[in-house]
Amino acid sequence: MLPIKIIRSKSHVVRHTDRTLSESQLSADPDLVAAGWELRFIADGHRMPEARELYEQIGFEVRAEPLPGTDDPDECSSCEDIVQHFHAIYTRRRSS
């Protein structure tokens, strides 16, 4: 079994055996931040609906944005396919 490496990137932790998400894939979208959205975390497709529901129940608007792909031509296509299953969860307080 390969050891799991933990990479810290700002407030995000990514576990992997031999691949990491790039800084641009983990960074908040500046346009969304300017519009008042806050990046909460990166969720896989199975947990994203649960996260959306929980944040909505406590009074937040929620956006789930797909992660951007990579511009790395050496990135394998199966890795790119895996990234498509993850979403960046953004929230902001509902307007009164």
Question: Domain limits of the chain?
Answer: 5-93
What's the mean pLDDT in 71-83? 60
91 by Cβ neighbours in 10 Å (0-12 / 13-18 / 19+) ranks as buried
Distance CA 78, CA 21 (A): 14
The confidence band for 3, taking pLDDT boundaries of 50, 70 and 90, is low
Q: How confident is the model over 59-70, as pLDDT tens digits?
A: 999 999 988 766
Q: What is the pTM of this model?
A: 0.67
